[in-house]
């Protein structure tokens, strides 16, 4: 409870900070501050056996969803059928990429990455599909900035840097699968096992 409270309060401060920084830097962050902070907060809070993997999954989902917008702008019809095909392809490719990674890239973080760019850019795209090349980089960079601060708030500030295993460096800890500790009540993967149907 105490950890959740601290993480939530720090994330609230960072959410306000995102808006303030956006105004100071001349970035339009007001409309996506809470979205980015919340997604970054979830990315930082949810554990994964390979910490760098959840960041990789987020990036994969983000890029695939951005390519989905590119397909809509260049190839697919601007209709319900076109949007349905794009949605199907985006989710299917993310799922395939996470599946091929053998659990290193969790599906949930890939979906968070897709949600980030869709939440930040969908309305702008709908209003001006032909401006994809001009508008999408701005939307993508601003939401990534907000996500990064949200991730920082929960992962590095509230939760602290990961405690390295005995004899391992902090750097290695981020690239090495964490082994569960039954004596401490650890499960063999937490949310990853639940989503894959392997929880016990």
Instruction: Tell whether the model's pLDDT for residue 64 goes beyond 90.
Output: yes
Instruction: Tell whether the model's pLDDT for residue 66 goes beyond 90.
Output: yes
Helix (H, G, I), strand (E, B) or coil at 190: coil
State the residue for tokens 């970035």. Answer: 27
Degrees, nearest 5: CA angle 36-38-40: 65
Token reading at 73? 């702008």
Instruction: Tell whether the model's pLDDT for residue 192 goes beyond 50.
Output: yes
Instruction: Tell whether the model's pLDDT for residue 184 goes beyond 60.
Output: no
Torsion sign over Cα 5, 7, 8, 10: positive
Confidence at residue 175, expressed as pLDDT on a 0 to 100 scale: 53
Instruction: Tell whether the model's pLDDT for residue 189 goes beyond 90.
Output: no
* Distance between CA atoms of residues 131 and 73, nearest Å: 9
* Distance between CA atoms of residues 68 and 189, nearest Å: 31
Instruction: Tell whether the model's pLDDT for residue 146 goes beyond 70.
Output: yes
Per DSSP, 129 falls in state: G
- Residues in contact with 146: Cβ distance below 8 Å, sequence separation at least 6, in sequence order: 18, 29, 32, 33, 35, 36, 37, 40
* Distance between CA atoms of residues 148 and 138, nearest Å: 15
Token reading at 156? 């590095």
* Distance between CA atoms of residues 45 and 84, nearest Å: 31
Rounded to whole angstroms, what are the CA distances from 8 to 20, 25, 46, 151, 172?
19, 25, 14, 12, 28
Of residues 73 and 45, the one with the higher pLDDT is: 73
**Mean pLDDT for all residues in the chain:** 78
Degrees, nearest 5: CA angle 13-192-174: 65
Q: For 73-114, write each residue's pLDDT tens digit.
A: 999 988 899 999 999 999 999 999 999 998 899 999 999 999
141, with CB counted inside 10 A (0-12, 13-18, 19+), is exposed
Token reading at 44? 């930082």
């Amino acid at each position: 409870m105490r950890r959740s409270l601290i993480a939530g309060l720090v994330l609230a401060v960072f959410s306000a900070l995102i808006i303030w920084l956006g105004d100071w830097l001349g970035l339009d962050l007001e409309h996506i501050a809470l979205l980015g902070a919340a997604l970054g907060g979830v990315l930082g809070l949810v554990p994964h056996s390979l910490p760098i993997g959840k960041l990789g999954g987020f990036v994969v989902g983000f890029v695939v969803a951005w390519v989905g917008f590119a397909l809509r702008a260049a190839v697919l019809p601007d209709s319900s059928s076109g949007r349905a095909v794009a949605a199907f392809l985006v989710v299917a490719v993310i799922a395939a990429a996470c599946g091929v990674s053998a659990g290193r890239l969790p599906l949930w973080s890939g979906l968070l990455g897709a949600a980030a760019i869709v939440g930040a850019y969908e309305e702008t795209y709908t209003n001006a599909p032909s401006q994809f090349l001009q508008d999408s980089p701005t939307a993508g960079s601003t939401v990534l900035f907000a996500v990064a601060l949200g991730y920082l708030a929960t992962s590095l500030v509230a939760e602290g840097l990961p405690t390295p295993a005995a004899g391992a460096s902090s750097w290695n800890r981020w690239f090495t699968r964490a082994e569960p500790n039954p004596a401490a009540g650890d499960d063999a993967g937490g949310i990853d096992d639940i989503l894959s149907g392997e929880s016990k």
